[in-house]
Amino acid sequence: MKGLFKFIAKLLFKALYRVEVKGVEHYHAVDQNEQPLLIIANHVSSLDGPIIDLFIPGETSFMVDAGHTKKWYERFILSMTHYFKVDLQSPYAAKHMIKELKKGSQCMIFPEGRVTTTGSLMKVYDGTGLVADKTGAVVLPIHISGAVYSKFSYLDGSKFAYIKQFWFPKIILTIRPAEKMVNTAGLKGHKKHKVLTDQISRLLREGVYYGQVKKQSIFASLIETKSTFRAKEVCVEDINGQELSLKKLTLASIILGKQLKKVLKDETHVGLMLPNVVGMPASFFALQAYGYVPAMINFTAGISSIKSACDTAGLKSIITSKKFVEVFELQPLIESLKNEVRFIYLEDIKEKIGGGEKISGLLTCPKKLPGFRVDPEKSAVILFTSGSEGTPKGVVLSHQNINSNIAQIRSMITLLPGETILNALPIFHCFGLTAGMLWPILSGAKVYLYPSPIHYAIVPEMAYQKNVKLMFGTDTFYTGYARKAHPYDFYSMEGLIAGAERLRPETRRLYADKYYKPIFEGYGVTETTPVLSINTPLAYKDGSVGQFVPDIAYRLEPVDGIDEGGRLFVKGPNIMKGYLMPDNPGVLLPPKEGWHDTGDIVDVDEDGFIWIKGRAKRFAKIGGEMVSLTAVEAYINQASPEGHHVVVSVEDERKGERLVLVTDDPSLSRSTIIEAAKKRQLSELLIPKTTILVEKVPVLGTGKTNYPEVQKLAEQNFDSVK
């Protein structure tokens, strides 16, 4: 009877939920005669236990909380499997599981101890790691995806989060290789528990990544998102009130892409120069649909930098908008480049789209378009480095780079279908493109695009009006918003995410005190698509930039004169295909053996948190000692938190280099700086000898400090420069 019931139940699950099991070979690779097997999984719905029991080989023993055995249907379902009842709040609960494992049973625990009410991982209890450690069991991690969107999840709004649930979403079980627990010899008590629990947490987090990352093109990801979530739900909105659903975005990509193909013909790299409006994702996916590679043009970079970018990427055409050119007053740029590249205006393309073209688009199968079938390792987009340290380089990212980084972000941050992100960061910036536009759209969520991050009064108001859950910014932008925002503007936010430049402690403290909101600082570079690490509510250390996202290898190379940390090199699926260099246009320069040199000096602590010490180029050698310019800025920022301060170095005949402070704070005196340094017992070497007052410190369109311009200011005002 029991066997017949399970056979019928399995057939029903396969028919209704299209259950798929990936990585079953990892289960069979475990020799249970050598060691016990402990299965762990994320807990997203009431279906999780039955699905694992039906679709994972072998007879699994489940540890079930007594609170889940009171209803008749719970007892009926449990009667079809092997389980033992415990009180999960009791310190003796783990002993029952240890006993079962020592008997040789194949056991299963949900380390979170409850079904998620956020849609993502919740806290992990110490018991799971302790059980595996005590029994010598190998841990087999499984990730359950899809069930979180079902009617059997807890995301109906009655407990915490809310989504529009589905009756029968596709469910996938992804099994990862089994892993032994780390050696805890010499560790006791809380420290031992922490090490074991951190390992279980890491396995679950990696499971989210491996369970979601797929080898496919970006356009294929859009089509999959449309079929997975509600296609008629709005996925992008802009300041003009324009909206696109997943269905309309896909259709716009097909129709617009077909018209662009008639103009672009056999071109490969195509410039895309638009602000944060719905026309940007429509044009981006239109190019993707027909296999073109968009090159994102930074229209704030200046004529010479844009011309260099066009030459570097071998661009013949740039797609833009007449209205955009007029509003942003870009006519001089167009005039200076019109003999170098062809400008294609979306308004002109739109005029060619009539009823026939729209019907043709409706009848076109997106899966038959070139962009759907493209090799995911091929180039998907070209971005350009910020130019904060010199001439911008072209950074070529593949489809798999972007898909991998989106999956890495999902493993760290929760974003549910229907939730809204505010993105005012320019999409020509990697942070704005991957995290700010593609992540929400390809997650079934919604992004509200705002065209300028420096509208300090309007951006917070938009956050308030649109009830956003998350927003992105840099320290410079967050400081600006704090000057204008009402204390209630960020009421709906679960957190604010900072990147691209160092987040000052003063900014973090200001948002905690005034808005009661955390800022989660992350770290990344254009060459890593860009996210490498981020702080999260489950793993946070004040002042760090969080832990690495899954599937990243790193190494630290020593730097002369620097005792703590080293130069960071990283390797992983989100590392770029390579550079396009200004002095060698069109030739791809891949990272050596897959490793990218970030140029940053960092330290990684025993818990895996990353601490940025500064850029390798942002150290000065004074009197034979290495001095971090970032460290100098840090104590000056504490003395004058309202100002924007940048420290650079210039040549000095006597000591090799000299520190120069460039600031926009007229009240900051040398005596204040000296007093701040003394208060922190800092060496005199860390006190700038020269201060230059400016009306505004040069900043790039991305919000980063424009160091080449600051350096020029310093050199122009310092007599000893050669």
pLDDT for the residue numbered 465: 96
Q: Give domain status of residue 679, yes or no.
A: yes
Q: Say yes or no: 264 and 174 in one domain.
A: no
Kindly report the CATH number assigned to the domain that includes residue 641: 3.30.300.30
pLDDT-derived band of residue 721, with 50, 70 and 90 as boundaries?
very low
491 and 375 within one domain: yes
Kindly calculate the radius of gyration of the chain based on its CA atoms and give it in whole angstroms.
Answer: 27
The backbone torsions φ and ψ at residue 76, rounded to the nearest 5 degrees and listed phi first, read: -65, -45
Q: Are residues 466 and 426 in the same domain?
A: yes
Q: Which of 61-65, 221-225, 541-545, 634-638 has the lowest mean pLDDT?
A: 61-65
Per the document, the length of the chain is 722
Residues 189 and 260 in one domain: no
Q: Within a domain: residue 309?
A: yes
CB 418 within 8 A of CB 161: no
Q: Indicate if the pLDDT at residue 300 is higher than 90.
A: no
Question: Are residues 227 and 129 part of one domain?
Answer: no
Which one, of 123, 52, 120, 137, lies nearest residue 88 by Cα? 123
Q: How far, in Å, CA of 412 to CA of 582, rounded?
A: 35
List the CATH number of the domain containing 269.
3.40.50.12780
Q: Is there a single domain that holds both residue 457 and residue 360?
A: yes
What does the DSSP assignment read for 652-704?
ETTTEEEEEEEES-TT--HHHHHHHHHHTT--GGGS-SEEEE-SS--B-TTS-
Q: Which of 301-305, 683-687, 702-706 has the highest mean pLDDT?
A: 301-305
Domain shared by 369 and 465, yes or no: yes
Cα–Cα distance for residue pair 593/598, rounded to 1 Å: 15
Residue 58 pLDDT grade (very low, low, confident, very high; cuts 50, 70, 90) = confident
pLDDT digits (tens, 9 = 90+) for 158-198: 889 888 999 999 999 999 999 999 988 888 888 999 999 99
Q: Is 68 a catalytic residue?
A: no
The answer to whether residues 462 and 560 belong to one domain is yes
Tell me the per-residue pLDDT of 468-478, one tens digit each, with 9 for 90 and over: 999 999 888 99
- Over residues 610-638, the mean pLDDT reads 74
- Structure confidence at residue 74 as a pLDDT band (50, 70, 90): low
Average pLDDT over residues 701-718: 75
- Domain-embedded: residue 456: yes
How far the first Cα of the chain sits from its last, in Å, is 91
Please name which of 315, 414, 438 lies closest in space to residue 116, comparing C-alpha atoms.
414
> Three-state SS for 143?
strand
The CATH number of the domain holding residue 122 is 3.40.1130.10
451 preceded by a cis bond (ω within 30 of 0):
no
Task: Tell me whether residue 618 is in a domain.
Answer: no
Q: In the structure, what pLDDT confidence band is assigned to residue 704 with cuts at 50, 70 and 90?
A: confident
Residue 638: inside a domain, yes or no?
Answer: yes
Amino acid at 193: H
Look at 32-41, 102-111, 130-139, 597-606 and tell me which has the smallest mean pLDDT.
102-111
Enclosing domain of residue 223: 218-612
Average confidence (pLDDT) over 505-523: 93
Cα–chain center distance at 194: 26
Q: Please give the Cα distance from 528 to 405 (Å, whole number).
A: 8
Q: What's the token pair of residue 533?
A: 């690490």
CB atoms under 10 Å from CB of 64, counted, come to: 19
CB-facing half-sphere around the CA of 505: CA atoms within 13 A:
13
Is pLDDT at 720 greater than 80 in this prediction? no
Q: What count of other Cβ atoms lies within 10 Å of the Cβ of residue 189?
A: 7
Final residue before a domain boundary, out of 591, 612, 633: 612
Task: Look at residue 184 in the predicted model and tell me its pLDDT.
Answer: 85
Other residues' Cβ atoms within 10 Å of the Cβ of residue 334: 15
Would you say residue 251 lies in a domain?
Answer: yes
Q: CA-CA distance, 207 to 204, in Å (whole number)?
A: 5
Confidence label for 675 from pLDDT (cuts 50, 70 and 90): confident
| Structure tokens that stand for 571 in this block | 């390797």
Which residues on adjacent β-strands are paired with residue 40?
109, 141
| Residue 562, pLDDT above cutoff 60 | yes
Identify whether residues 46 and 116 lie together within a single domain.
yes
Domain boundary pick from 564, 584, 612: 612
Rounded to whole angstroms, the Cα distance separating 184 from 194 reads 10
pTM of whole model > 0.85? yes
Residue 651 clears pLDDT 80, i.e. is over it:
no
Pairing of strands 342-345, 269-272: unpaired
Residues 120 and 145 in one domain: yes
Quickly count: other Cβ atoms within 10 Å of residue 375's Cβ: 12
Q: Is 483 within a domain?
A: yes
End position of a domain, from candidates 557, 581, 612:
612
Residue 553: per-residue pLDDT = 96
Beta bridge partners of 398: 379
Compute CA distances 82 → 54, 106, 495, 513, whole Å.
12, 10, 42, 51
Encoding tokens for residue 453? 């991050």
Of 26, 43, 190, 486, the catalytic one is 43
Query: Which two tokens mark 403?
Result: 């898909």
Look at the chain and report how many structural domains it folds into.
3
Same domain, 156 and 173: yes
pLDDT of residue 449: 97
Residue 450 Cα distances to 60, 236, 283, 499, angstroms:
51, 11, 17, 18
Residues 513 and 463 in one domain: yes
**Do residues 405 and 453 make contact, with C-beta atoms less than 8 angstroms apart?**
no
Tokens (6 digits) for 77? 């379902």
pLDDT in tens, 80-131: 777 777 766 666 677 778 887 888 778 899 999 889 999 999 999 888 899 9
Is residue 617 situated within a structural domain? no
387: pLDDT strictly greater than 60: no
